[in-house]
Amino acid sequence: MNPWGSVNPAAPACSLADVMSEQLARQLDEENNTFPTLTEPGADLMLSGEVPDTTSDLMLAQILQMQFDREFDDQLRREEKKFNGDSKVSISFENYRMVHPYEDSDSSEDEVDWQDTRHDPYRAEKPQTTPRKGFTGKGKNITTKHDEVNCGRKNTARMDNFAPEVHVGDGLGMDLKLSNQVFNSLKQHCYSEQRRSAKLHEKKEHSTAEQAVDPRTRLLMYKMVNAGVLENINGCISTGKESVVFHADGGSLEEQPVPDEVVLKVFKTTLNEFKNRDRYIKDDYRFNDRFSKLNPRKVIRLWAEKEMHNLARMKKAEIPCPDVVVLKKHILVMSFIGKDHVPAPKIKDAMLGSEDMKNAYYQVLHMMQQLYRECNLVHADLSEYNMLWHEGKVWLIDVSQSVEPTHPHGLEFLFRDCRNISTFFQKKGVSEAMSVYDLFNTVTGLQIPVGAENEAEFMAEIVALEKRNEDHVQKRRKKVFPFASEDSGPPLEPDADD
């Protein structure tokens, strides 16, 4: 396939009589055409002497489009005239025109332009143009404006009118003669490329905006600024798979001051990110009766709600973690861990000296015990990525997925947390860091035997324990569990809009 369309073999220059007879033949051909309506759009081309190639669907489509665009532009010109009337100051509708400058290039104004620029010393001579009468020469030497060679050169010169970013080369210099068909294909290609690149750009811009927040979320954020809860939303701290975190300046909420610096954790409402995480919430008895009744968008809000309640429990146990400011649907506002717009580093990036690292390890060990015993929680995503180092302390964040130890997989999650912690601190050279098994037993107070480092055996014990737990919980579930009464999080926002 030739992307430029098939090239007509260049015919030698011929006399007016020949041209006429050839046209007659094509015209007759046209009349026999079984698609009478399709000749209509090309009518103006026919008038101007160029016979459209009606055998090509592409060509027909292009002719139709051009015809449509021209009609649109004519209408636009009429509107423009009407709009401006006799006014001395006129407003141009030029930008709304459909037909590109080069699409219109076969208008007579263009020919005048070429004559004006013919003596550009840096360009090869532009082709001779044909006067309005339609031919040059006398007697036998008449050349019409349809002369193939002239037309070809003219088309080559017209490529100058393509958009500046299209490299057309020095066609004139090499005396290139483009047939109408090839020229039209090139023109169309260049036009569609331009539109494609504009579209791509638009798409890119759209996706960047989408990646941050959707319009609903933007509105919610705007409302918080409007209500004075926030002074200003500054910028994005992190874009994760499940959330986007923004830094903001705090205002005041119900007469109470909000911390100077806060973060907005926006839980992503693109649901596919969350589909793997159902099990954290579906099997959490605290959300049990609610989960089944909710539409997917509301399930996302449960994540935010869960983080809020878990943070409240941690606060009660005095574990260093962000203070909850307010929860609005899927946006959780909490205090900023860091200073002067600079967030505290994750512990993996904190470049701690060995003494600090050892210190951090003991803090984490203590926090894991507190979390398990006092908060009745397992972090379930504990690692060097979800601990920040700030003012000589380890701060725990990202607790939306945290569950109670009696969750059907709670102990498995805890085992995974233990493995992350012990691997990280051992790698950082903390010789006191316990093995994953010892850490698990220390945190839980269980005494699962640690036989020859056999993980399978250890895990089997854990799963058996979970099973026993589950049976126990099943019995308790029959009673109604007053959710939230044990937590002292801020009140939930009522669902106003859906």
Q: Please identify, among the stretches 111-119, 166-174, 196-204, 240-248, the one whose residues bind ligand ADP according to the rule CB under 6 A.
A: 240-248
Nearest partner of 473 among 415, 399, 411, judged by Cα: 411
Min dist. Cβ of residue 239 to ligand ADP (A): 8
Instruction: Write each residue from 395 to 414 as x if it is in contact with ligand ADP (CB under 6 A), else as -, in one continuous string.
Output: --xx----------------
Contact stretch for Mg ion (CB under 5 A) within 188-196, 317-325, 326-334, 391-399 = 391-399
Among 19, 302, 334, 371, binds ligand ADP (CB under 6 A): 334
Residues numbered 168-197 forming contacts with ligand ADP, rule: CB under 6 A: none
Q: Which is nearer to ligand ADP, 166 or 237 (CB)?
A: 237
Min dist CB 358 to ligand ADP, Å, is: 23
Q: Among 162, 287, 336, 440, which residue interacts with ligand ADP (rule: CB under 6 A)?
A: 336
- Closest residue to bound Mg ion by CB: 398
Region from 77-85, 111-119, 236-244, 476-484 binding ligand ADP, contact rule CB under 6 A: 236-244
| 386 counts as binding ligand ADP under rule CB under 6 A | yes
- CB 348, min distance to ligand ADP, A: 10
* Residue ranges in 343-382 that form contacts with Mg ion under rule CB under 5 A: none
Rounded Cα distance between 155 and 176, Å, is 9
Residue with tokens 């017209």: 158
H, E, C per residue of the chain: CCCCCCCCCCCCCCCHHHHHHHHHHHHHHHHCCCCHHHHCCCHHHHHCCCCCCCCCHHHHHHHHHHHHHHHHHHHHHHHHHHHHCCCCCCCCCHHHCCCCHHHHCCCHHHHHHHHHCCCCCCCCCCCCCCCCCCEECCHHHCEECCCHHHHHHHHHHHHHHCCCCCCCCCCCCCCCCCCHHHHHHHHHHHHHHHHHHHHHHHHHHHHHHHHHCCHHHHHHHHHHHHCCCEEEEEEEEEECCCEEEEEEEECEECCEECCCEEEEEEECCCHHHHHHHHHHHHCCHHHHHHHCCCCHHHHHHHHHHHHHHHHHHHHHCCCCCCCEEEEECCEEEEECCEECCEECCEHHHCCCCHHHHHHHHHHHHHHHHHHHHCCCCECCCCCCCCEEEECCEEEECCCCCCECCCCCCHHHHHHHHHHHHHHHHHHCCCCCCCCHHHHHHHHHCCCCCCCCCCHHHHHHHHHHHHHHHHHHHHHHHCCCCCCCCCCCCCCCCCCCCC
How many chain residues interact with Mg ion (CB under 5 A)? Answer: 2
**Residues 90-129 close enough to bind ligand ADP by CB under 6 A:** none
Site mask for ligand ADP (CB under 6 A), range 338-377, x = bound: x----xx-x-------------------------------
Q: How far is residue 12 CA from its own chain's centroid?
A: 55
The smaller minimum CB distance to ligand ADP, of residues 184 and 243, is found at: 243
Q: Which of 322, 405, 410, 489 lies at the binding interface for ligand ADP (CB under 6 A)?
A: 322
The nearer residue to ligand ADP, 103 or 261, going by C-beta atoms, is 261
Between 45 and 236, whose beta carbon lies closer to ligand ADP?
A: 236
User: Which of residues 126, 177, 187, 265 is near ligand ADP by CB under 6 A?
Assistant: 265
CB-facing half-sphere around the CA of 54: CA atoms within 13 A? 20
Among 157, 159, 245, 312, which residue sits at the site for ligand ADP (rule: CB under 6 A)? Answer: 245
**Distance in Å, CB of 383 to Mg ion, minimum:** 8
In the bound state with ligand ADP, the residue whose beta carbon lies nearer, of 344 and 434, is 344
- Answer yes or no whether residue 259 interacts with ligand ADP by CB under 6 A: no
If one asks whether residue 386 binds Mg ion (CB under 5 A), the answer comes out as: yes
CA–CA distance, 372 with 439 (Å, rounded to integer): 12
Q: d(Cα 406, Cα 288) in Å, to the nearest integer? A: 14
Q: Which residues of 448-463 are buried (b: 16+ CB within 10 A; e: fewer)?
A: beeeeeeeeebeeebe
Residue in 110, 398, 417, 466 binding Mg ion, rule: CB under 5 A = 398
Give the nearer residue to ligand ADP in terms of CB position, either 113 or 323: 323
Shortest spacing between CB 233 and Mg ion, in angstroms: 20
Identify what 242 binds: ligand ADP, Mg ion, none; CB under 5 to 8 Å per kind.
Answer: ligand ADP
Report, in Å, the least distance between residue 385 CB and ligand ADP. Answer: 6
Q: Which stretch binds ligand ADP (CB under 6 A): 8-16, 36-44, 337-345, 434-442?
A: 337-345
Q: Of Mg ion, ligand ADP, none, which one does residue 237 interact with (CB within 5 to 8 Å by kind)?
A: ligand ADP
Q: What angle do CA 470, 476, 478 make, to 5 degrees?
A: 115
Q: Confirm or reject binding of residue 320 to ligand ADP (CB under 6 A).
A: no
What are the catalytic residues? 381
The distance between the two most distant Cα atoms of the chain, rounded to a whole number of Å, is 115
Among 101, 131, 137, 240, binds ligand ADP (CB under 6 A): 240
Which residues contribute to the site for Mg ion (CB under 5 A)? 386, 398
Which residues contribute to the site for ligand ADP (CB under 6 A)? 237-238, 240, 242-243, 245, 263, 265, 322, 334, 336-338, 343-344, 346, 386, 397-398
